[in-house]
Chains A and B, each alone.
Chain A
Amino acid sequence: MFQAPTRQILRASLTTRGANGASAFIPQCTKIVFEYCDNWSSSDKLRTYLAKHIKAVAESHPHVEFVVKQRPFKQPIARGFYVNGRTKEIGLKKLEITGIQQKIQLLLDSSGAKIKPLKRETIQSTSDAARGIWSGLHVEEPFRI
């Protein structure tokens, strides 16, 4: 009988795949940094947001660290840091307070992954098909030409 060649398995290198949310969910956003300027008027709305609205957002998201940083003579931005090591930067130059709130919510909800078009490709999954995969050889009457 054919003897298959075997490869040595190094036990310390074996690992498992994780699936965030299957049992425990780890929120992916770790830190949001606001960079504002005290001099330019483009940071007006952000300064108002920082004075009035940020405390409530920070209290309702205790898993995120909020950092307020001054960046003089530059446009205002919000930068989000994520568990996968990537960052997302959003310019807040022309936004009203509600616009800033929406962008901060976007940063909080994001996973940090690159934006990937989902409609183009077929779905790939590691779990088995829920309804099974049809096989033409496992039917009662196989198709005959």
Chain B
Amino acid sequence: MSRPRRAVLNVVKSLKHPAQPQLDRPRLFPPPEARTETKTAKAPVEQPSSSRTASALAPDGVFSPTVWASLQLPSPPTLTAFAHRVGLANVLTTPEAVQQIFTHPSFVPYFARYYPEEKTLASNAALSNIGNALLGLFAAEHLHATYPHLPTRVLKAAVSAFVGPTTCANVARSIGAPALLRWRRSHATLKQPAVMLDDALASVSRSLVAVLYRERSISAARAFVNSMFLSRELDLRNLIKFRDPKMALRATVEKFGREPPKSRLLKETGRLSNSPIFVVGIYSGLDKLGEGFGSSLKMAEYRAAEDALHRLYLTRQPPHLLQVPSSTFLASGLDIFRLPEEAEYVPGAIGETEVLYGSAGKSGVRAVSYRSQVPSEVQSEEHDKDGRLLI
């Protein structure tokens, strides 16, 4: 029994005095701020003279651990581990660079109020702004190049879905940002909007894009956005909804100069049972535009019209043929007198504009237009053989 005990004691002694890992900031608890201002039953409440005072951290002379905890910055190992986790260890080389990404501007005055002697923290406000602009650029050109015929409102909604505030916050959550984020909640005032957790988290992912753009190049920023934002899943069919898809299809087919759509029952089963299935196809002449199923004839026809419109609006450029305009921007550090050998940029086809029917596009307000002022002989309009206006 004695031998194992001696071995244990040796191990314990060696571990108690091994070469200690060097800590940059030894973390003591309770912190110095608490020890000088701790109120006891016997001692009277003192007003210390140093600037790091109870009046800042302890308004009633009592130390508040929650306030103290919210003021502590993440340690350098945490920040370095984050840089490795997102694969940007070569870009975010110092913990200070990572700290800036996680410091929301709402935190800076809060920190300065309690630690006025410390250096003012660098916030991610400017980075977040640049990153937001870059995200909008990359998402808009990527979606427009991928879906050239997408209606404008749907394109705007899709851009919001891919790089909007909710998605930016979710991307930040997926990389482990909530533990490192330093921010301060505030309600909406007359001068400033509210700051909620999603806003603070969104600033983190936007700042990452901006840091890549600043430290590397626009191509590196675009590759990051493609892998972290634009490869996420979204069903665009839920964003293209029609009040009356049959009417919309009729107007669309008319615009393309084809025969009016005619729906035909392709297959049916169980018509008189409690669960019938009808498969309806919508044809323009001999071409089948769309197919839909349903438990009633009307529902099947509705879905067939929707399917036809989806097949038009969601025409997709294959990813391996995709070329975006910002790929023509030169990466930084290149000699502009010697351009790199690269594939020529082929612009995508301009998509067909969406059909406006009903009262869409017409506000009902009569405006004085150029045509009404021009003499009558110029106003004669010429049409080509397809019935389209020649400008």
By a beta-carbon cutoff of 8 Å, the part of chain A in contact with chain B is 1-4, 6, 9, 11-20, 22-24, 26-27, 30-31, 38-39, 41, 44, 47-48, 50-51, 62-66, 68, 81, 83, 85, 126, 137-138, 142
Q: Is the CB of A85 within 8 A of B16?
A: no
Q: Is the CB of A64 within 8 A of B165?
A: no
Q: Is the CB of A142 within 8 A of B267?
A: yes
Q: Is the CB of B85 within 8 A of A26?
A: yes
Q: Is the CB of A27 within 8 A of B232?
A: no
Q: Is the CB of A16 within 8 A of B162?
A: yes
Q: Is the CB of B160 within 8 A of A12?
A: yes
By a beta-carbon cutoff of 8 Å, the part of chain B in contact with chain A is 4, 8, 11-12, 14-16, 18, 21, 77-78, 80-81, 84-87, 89, 156-157, 160-162, 164-167, 170-171, 173-176, 178-179, 226-229, 231-234, 239, 241-244, 246-247, 267, 269, 277, 279, 293, 298, 302
A-B pairs with beta carbons under 8 Å apart, 24 shown:
A1-B244, A2-B244, A4-B243, A6-B241, A12-B164, A14-B160, A14-B164, A15-B166, A15-B170, A19-B231, A19-B232, A26-B176, A30-B81, A30-B85, A30-B179, A39-B12, A41-B4, A44-B8, A51-B18, A62-B80, A63-B85, A65-B78, A81-B179, A83-B173
Once the chains are docked, how many angstroms separate the CA of A67 from the CA of B267? Answer: 66
Closest A-B pairs by Cβ, 8 of them: A16-B232, A14-B161, A23-B231, A11-B160, A63-B84, A23-B227, A63-B85, A62-B84
Q: Is the CB of B81 within 8 A of A64?
A: yes
Q: Is the CB of A38 within 8 A of B232?
A: no
Residue in chain A with minimal CB distance to B233: A17
Q: Which residues of A contact B18 (CB under 8 A)?
A: 51
Q: Is the CB of A17 within 8 A of B234?
A: yes
Q: Which residues of A contact B174 (CB under 8 A)?
A: 18, 20, 26, 83
Complex partner residue of A51 from B15, B81, B165, B175, CB under 8 angstroms: B15
Q: Is the CB of A18 within 8 A of B165?
A: no
Smallest beta-carbon distance B15→chain A, Å: 5
Smallest beta-carbon distance A1→chain B, Å: 5
Smallest beta-carbon distance B237→chain A, Å: 13
Q: Which residues of B contact A63 (CB under 8 A)?
A: 81, 84-85
Complex partner residue of B298 from A2, A47, A68, A138, CB under 8 angstroms: A2
Q: Which residues of B contact A30 (CB under 8 A)?
A: 81, 85, 176, 179
Once the chains are docked, how many angstroms separate the CA of A66 from the CA of B80? Answer: 12
Smallest beta-carbon distance A26→chain B, Å: 6
Smallest beta-carbon distance B223→chain A, Å: 10
Q: Which residues of A contact B15 (CB under 8 A)?
A: 38, 47, 50-51
Once the chains are docked, how many angstroms separate the CA of A3 from the CA of B376? Answer: 42
Q: Which residues of A contact B244 (CB under 8 A)?
A: 1-4
Complex partner residue of B243 from A6, A26, A81, A138, CB under 8 angstroms: A6
Smallest beta-carbon distance A69→chain B, Å: 11
Q: Is the CB of A17 within 8 A of B232?
A: yes
Q: Which residues of A contact B239 (CB under 8 A)?
A: 9, 14
Q: Which residues of B contact A68 (CB under 8 A)?
A: 21
Q: Which residues of A contact B8 (CB under 8 A)?
A: 41, 44
Complex partner residue of A47 from B11, B21, B161, B171, CB under 8 angstroms: B11
Complex partner residue of A14 from B81, B166, B179, B229, CB under 8 angstroms: B166
Q: Which residues of B contact A51 (CB under 8 A)?
A: 14-15, 18
Complex partner residue of B165 from A6, A12, A17, A137, CB under 8 angstroms: A12
Smallest beta-carbon distance B181→chain A, Å: 13
Once the chains are docked, how many angstroms separate the CA of A14 from the CA of B241? Answer: 15
Complex partner residue of B161 from A16, A19, A62, A64, CB under 8 angstroms: A16
Other A-B contacts than A17-B232, A27-B85, 19 sampled, CB-CB below 8 A, are A1-B246, A4-B243, A4-B244, A9-B157, A9-B239, A11-B156, A14-B160, A14-B166, A18-B233, A19-B231, A19-B232, A22-B231, A24-B228, A24-B231, A26-B86, A30-B176, A47-B15, A51-B15, A63-B81
Q: Which residues of A contact B234 (CB under 8 A)?
A: 16-17
Residue in chain A with minimal CB distance to B306: A4
Q: Which residues of A contact B4 (CB under 8 A)?
A: 41
Smallest beta-carbon distance B236→chain A, Å: 11
Q: Given A4-B241, A83-B174, do A23 and B165 touch, yes or no (CB 8 Å)?
A: no
Q: Is the CB of A14 within 8 A of B157?
A: yes
Smallest beta-carbon distance A70→chain B, Å: 10
Complex partner residue of A1 from B81, B86, B156, B247, CB under 8 angstroms: B247
Residue in chain A with minimal CB distance to B241: A6
Smallest beta-carbon distance A144→chain B, Å: 10
Complex partner residue of A31 from B80, B81, B232, CB under 8 angstroms: B81
Q: Is the CB of A137 within 8 A of B157?
A: no
